């Protein structure tokens, strides 16, 4: 858990050379490292929280104070009828060293737990940062694939509408076929508008994350090693989550903090013993030159030194001391229950994340097979339409099923990547090296021009051929 924020992305910064022609995941992460406000705030908060330990330890160390005062005095001796005007300068130096302070000791222990909580929260922020980078990068690629599919579907349905209109004009199909094709085409137009909007939003979000305008991004390779969680034993992931999940550690440290707070409040009712040493020098100077008047009742210069032990015992403060002790004890019990619930929640999250990635791996291969099946079904439907055993609605449905299968396959691949990182985050094991490893899944040749994408060319490649 103990990691310096200045070394978190060192391996990522130096491990891989970025693509010459397109930005990759490493470049995006490097840019976000120095720009993302959420991450920078987390780093500054971590640095600030390190001072809590210094502040908690201070109550155990010597306390040295110095004071200086200069006063103009006027004293009237009524019986003698004398008025004295003189100035006084007083210098005081005092040292206090706690000898027995139960409350101070547990205050120091509180500071240790607070620092541990800050470390756990910082670790969670680091993992959230890694996830945000991956989500921002692949969010653009996901939106792009959806946009290409939506455009290809709009073209395919548009061609189907034209052909249906032509067949209607020569009396081969009824008017209802044209209306069905027109309705389906209008729906694809709506989907295309939404897909374009989502792509623009994803692109803007990437710029917001990194503070830069990116021209091109590397796309995913076709063949990827999506074999499921490694190790393949779910219990291994659960045990790792028990040991190092940052949120669970923060809950545990908070429980410990609450217990120490309760002990500190109890210690506040005990005697407090401290060593006290004091040096004081006082200088008195008359404002008149009359020595006789100065000598009557005016303290001369003096110097004093004291050393001893003080014992303070709070006896009664209106019931506040005992009330604070009870409050702290109850809050300690509540924090312990919260930790137990956090433990159960994290175990469940680890199970769910593991099963999700496990299913994602199967889903990727199944979605790929679904594309082949949908394409075969479309060809069969088109053949049936040619001979009159199928109608245009069947063809339109088959085309939509094919494009839906292609979108589902693309989404399954992105889901696998993001959910795999989420699984590692659940166990507290998400490292910068994971981004560097996924960077190897990006293509050196397939790139996306973000602001001038080849939507027409890419969508044309997805439009199935018509045979009538």
Q: Are residues 375 and 228 in the same domain?
A: yes
* Assigned domain for 431 exists: yes
Residue 466 domain-assigned?
no
What residue numbers bound the domain in which 454 lies? 5-60+101-271+319-460
Q: Are residues 84 and 23 in the same domain?
A: no
Residue 140 lies in a domain: yes
Asked if residue 223 belongs to a domain, the reply is yes
Residues 277 and 373 occupy one common structural domain = no
Tens digit of each residue's pLDDT, the chain (468 residues) = 444 444 444 444 444 433 346 899 999 999 999 999 999 999 999 999 999 999 999 999 999 999 999 998 888 887 777 888 888 999 999 999 999 999 999 999 999 999 999 999 999 999 999 999 999 999 999 999 999 999 999 999 999 999 989 988 998 889 999 999 999 999 999 999 999 999 999 999 999 999 999 999 999 999 999 999 999 999 999 999 999 999 999 999 999 999 999 999 999 999 999 999 999 999 888 765 444 444 445 667 889 999 999 999 998 888 898 999 999 999 999 999 999 999 999 999 999 999 999 999 999 999 999 999 999 999 999 999 888 889 899 999 999 999 999 999 999 999 999 999 999 999 999 988 899 999 999 998 999 999 999 999 999 999 987 655
Reported pTM: 0.85
Same domain, 292 and 325: no
Q: Write down which residue in 260, 290, 312 finishes a domain.
A: 312
One domain for residues 349 and 389? yes
- Encoding tokens for residue 122? 């910082």
- Residue 392: CATH number of its domain: 1.20.1600.10
**465 inside domain:** no
For residues 76 and 109, state if they share a domain.
no
Q: How far apart are CA 16 and CA 10, in angstroms?
A: 11
Number of domains within the chain: 2
Same domain, 24 and 95: no
Q: Do both 266 and 409 map to the same domain?
A: yes
Whether residue 287 is found in the same domain as residue 210: no
Q: Are residues 328 and 437 in the same domain?
A: yes
Residues 84 and 42 in one domain: no
Residues 286 and 341 in one domain: no
């Amino acid at each position: 858990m103990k990691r310096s924020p200045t070394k978190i992305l060192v391996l990522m910064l130096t491990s891989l050379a970025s693509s010459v022609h397109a930005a990759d995941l490493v470049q995006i992460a490097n840019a976000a490292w120095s720009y993302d406000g959420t991450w920078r705030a987390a780093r500054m908060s971590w640095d600030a929280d390190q001072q809590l330990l210094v502040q908690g330890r201070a109550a155990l160390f010597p306390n040295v104070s110095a004071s200086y005062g200069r006063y103009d005095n006027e004293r009237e001796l009524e019986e003698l009828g004398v008025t004295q005007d003189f100035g006084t300068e007083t210098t005081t130096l005092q040292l206090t060293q706690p000898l027995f302070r139960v409350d101070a000791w547990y205050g120091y222990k509180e500071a240790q737990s607070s620092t541990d909580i800050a470390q756990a929260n910082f670790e969670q922020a680091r993992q959230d940062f890694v996830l945000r980078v991956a989500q921002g990068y692949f969010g653009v690629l996901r939106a792009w694939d959806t946009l290409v599919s939506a455009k290809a579907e709009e073209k395919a349905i548009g061609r189907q509408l034209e052909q249906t209109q032509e067949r209607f004009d020569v009396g081969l199909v009824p008017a209802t076929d044209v209306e069905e094709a027109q309705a389906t085409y209008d729906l694809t137009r709506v989907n295309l508008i939404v897909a374009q909007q989502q792509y623009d939003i994803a692109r803007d979000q990437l710029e917001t994350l990194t503070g830069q305008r990116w021209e091109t991004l590397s796309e995913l390779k076709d063949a990827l090693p999506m074999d499921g969680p490694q190790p393949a034993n779910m219990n291994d992931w659960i045990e790792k989550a028990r040991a190092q999940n940052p949120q669970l550690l923060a809950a545990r440290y908070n429980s410990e903090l609450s217990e120490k707070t309760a002990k500190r409040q109890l210690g506040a009712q005990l005697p407090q013993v401290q060593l006290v040493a004091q040096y004081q020098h006082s200088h008195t100077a008359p404002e008149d030159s009359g020595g006789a008047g100065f000598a009557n009742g005016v303290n001369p210069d003096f110097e004093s030194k004291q050393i001893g032990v003080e014992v303070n015992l709070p006896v009664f403060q209106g019931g506040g001391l005992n009330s604070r002790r009870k409050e702290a004890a109850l809050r300690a019990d509540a924090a312990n229950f919260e930790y137990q619930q956090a433990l159960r929640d994290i175990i469940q999250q680890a199970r769910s994340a593991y099963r999700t990635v496990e299913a994602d791996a199967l889903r990727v291969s199944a979605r790929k097979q679904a594309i082949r099946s949908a394409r075969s079904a479309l060809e069969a439907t088109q053949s049936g339409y040619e001979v009159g055993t199928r109608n245009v609605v069947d063809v339109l449905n088959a085309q939509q099923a094919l494009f839906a299968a292609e979108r589902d396959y693309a989404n399954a691949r992105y889901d696998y990547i993001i959910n795999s990182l989420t699984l590692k985050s659940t166990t507290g094991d998400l490292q910068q090296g994971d981004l560097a490893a996924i960077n190897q899944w990006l293509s050196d040749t397939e790139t996306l021009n973000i602001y001038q994408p080849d939507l027409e060319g890419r969508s044309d490649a997805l439009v199935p051929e018509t045979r009538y």
